[in-house]
Structure 1
């Protein structure tokens, strides 16, 4: 039972990284990124290739994942700068599917549908509970570092400028702010965070394959950020852990209903998750932690 709890906490921490990534690009910059699963996959594959095939140390693999994820995010953002709202969402969704299809078919590059087995783990597996606890400690440290970074960015003029761009891009441009540069920087940082989450996930499961990066991952993270509060890092983190706890709780609730086939039980879980989100939003329309108005800095 303790192993199961530690496993759920590790997955919750990885989701917390993804939620903070989405909070930055969507909640703060107003960029609807439905390609989150694509950057998640890029980070996992980049680190897995570096550490498994080229025998790089794990810290180097994590750094490579962050750099590759940020670079790809910058390319995607630059190519979609003129797109907004629904159009940007459609393009990023297509990008995620392109990443998954390429990973499934380009055997020479990614191993195809067989994936990359034997990815080095951060903590030796023969430690038993220590493996899960040690991995949890590493991932929690990553969550804390990203959280601290985002808090600093939000309190800085950079964060206030992004809020202004989100509210009215034209007014921000008239005020002399380079909206293109700020949006590209936000999207690049958010993509790097999502890639870091993917790398940590690959080193935890010791296996990377295309089926692990379905669009459902993006949907789950949107649910977490919407419920927790899409404009505050703390809300994203709380929403991610709450989502994982709720998903695991529904696993047992579905088993209590007799006569359900496995497919029907899975569908029931999704229904319960949707109803839970509706309940949260009916009570807290702006999420558990809504956005707070910032005061102008004292001179």
Structure 2
């Protein structure tokens, strides 16, 4: 039971990082990124490949951050003229392209067989239970640091500038804001955070495959940010842990129903997730922690 609890809380922390990533790009600059699972995969495979070649884990984490930034910049440059639904469709397609590359380029990613034996720091020395506890503490520390950083960013002149772009891009440009640069910087930081989450997931699981990066992950994170409150880093974190708790709770509910086989139970869980999203949007369209708009300073 303890191992299951540690596992659930660790996955909750990784989902919280993904939610912070989405909240920055969606709640900050207003760009709808449905390719979150793709950046998650980029980070996971980047660190798996680098550490598999013999590099230290810290180098693998750094390579995941760098890979996320590079892919994020490329995506931003390729979608400069797109907004709203068009941007969402393109980023969703990008995530699927990344997954298909991981599936077919066996020389690099081992294809559908996945990559196993990914370095799990100190697991062989301290044992699985101590490793899980230590990794939970590490992931939770990273989540807290990211939350503090993004909260500080949210209240900085940069944060106010990107929200001006979110509200009215043309007006922000007319006011002298460097819209293109703000978009590039925000997307790069968001992609780096998502890639870091993928890298931490990779080292925690010690095994990854293309099936781990289905688009459904993005739906879960959108549910987390919507439930927590778009534009609030704290809301993103709370929403992520709430979604993980909900997903695990529905697992037990589905298994308790009589006459339901495992396949039907899995389908029922996805139905419950969709129903939960509709319920949240209906009852709390602004989320549990609605965004607080700072009043303008009097001059």
Per the TM superposition, whether the score is higher than 0.5 is yes
* 4+ runs deviating over 4 angstroms: none
Aligned to 1:115: 114
1:16/1:237 contact within 8 Å kept? yes
- For residues 233 and 245 of structure 1, the distance between their equivalents in structure 2, rounded to whole angstroms, comes to 19
- For residues 47 and 82 of structure 1, the distance between their equivalents in structure 2, rounded to whole angstroms, comes to 32
Query: Do the aligned partners of residues 298 and 118 (structure 1) sit closer, same or farther apart at CA in structure 2, a change above 3 Å counting?
Result: farther
Q: What is the CA distance between 1:297 and its match in structure 2? A: 4.9
Task: Give the 3-state SS of the residue equivalent to 1:56 in structure 2.
Answer: coil
Task: Give the 3-state SS of the residue equivalent to 2:118 in structure 1.
Answer: coil
Matches within 5 A, 1:183-262: 183-262=183-262
- For residues 94 and 282 of structure 1, the distance between their equivalents in structure 2, rounded to whole angstroms, comes to 28
Q: Which moved more, 1:276-285 or 1:7-16?
A: 276-285
1:123/1:135 contact within 8 Å kept? no
- For residues 192 and 272 of structure 2, the distance between their equivalents in structure 1, rounded to whole angstroms, comes to 32
Q: Structure 1 unaligned runs (5+)?
A: none
Matches within 5 A, 1:121-132: 121-125=120-124, 127-132=127-132
Aligned to 2:102: 103
Aligned to 1:280: 280
Aligned to 1:85: 84
- For residues 105 and 291 of structure 2, the distance between their equivalents in structure 1, rounded to whole angstroms, comes to 43
1:252-277 deviations in Å (ceiling 9; x for gaps): 11112100121111111122222233
How many residues are aligned here? 298
1:94-153 deviations in Å (ceiling 9; x for gaps): 111110111111111211112211100134155232111111111111111111110111
Q: Structure 2 unaligned runs (5+)?
A: none
Q: What is the CA distance between 1:298 and its match in structure 2? A: 7.2
Aligned to 1:9: 9
Task: Give the 3-state SS of the residue equivalent to 1:30 in structure 2.
Answer: coil
Aligned to 1:23: 23
Provide TM-score, normalisation by structure 1: 0.97
1:36/1:96 contact within 8 Å kept? yes
2:226/2:285 contact within 8 Å kept? no
- For residues 84 and 46 of structure 2, the distance between their equivalents in structure 1, rounded to whole angstroms, comes to 29
- For residues 225 and 123 of structure 1, the distance between their equivalents in structure 2, rounded to whole angstroms, comes to 33
- For residues 191 and 276 of structure 1, the distance between their equivalents in structure 2, rounded to whole angstroms, comes to 27
Aligned to 1:62: 61
Q: Which moved more, 1:135-144 or 1:122-131?
A: 122-131
- Whether 1:36 aligns to 2:28 is no
Q: Which moved more, 1:275-284 or 1:92-101?
A: 275-284
- For residues 48 and 27 of structure 2, the distance between their equivalents in structure 1, rounded to whole angstroms, comes to 30
Note the aligned Cα RMSD (angstroms): 1.3
- For residues 99 and 262 of structure 1, the distance between their equivalents in structure 2, rounded to whole angstroms, comes to 29
1:120/1:203 contact within 8 Å kept? yes
Aligned to 1:146: 146
Provide TM-score, normalisation by structure 2: 0.97
1:177-207 deviations in Å (ceiling 9; x for gaps): 1111101110010000000000000000001
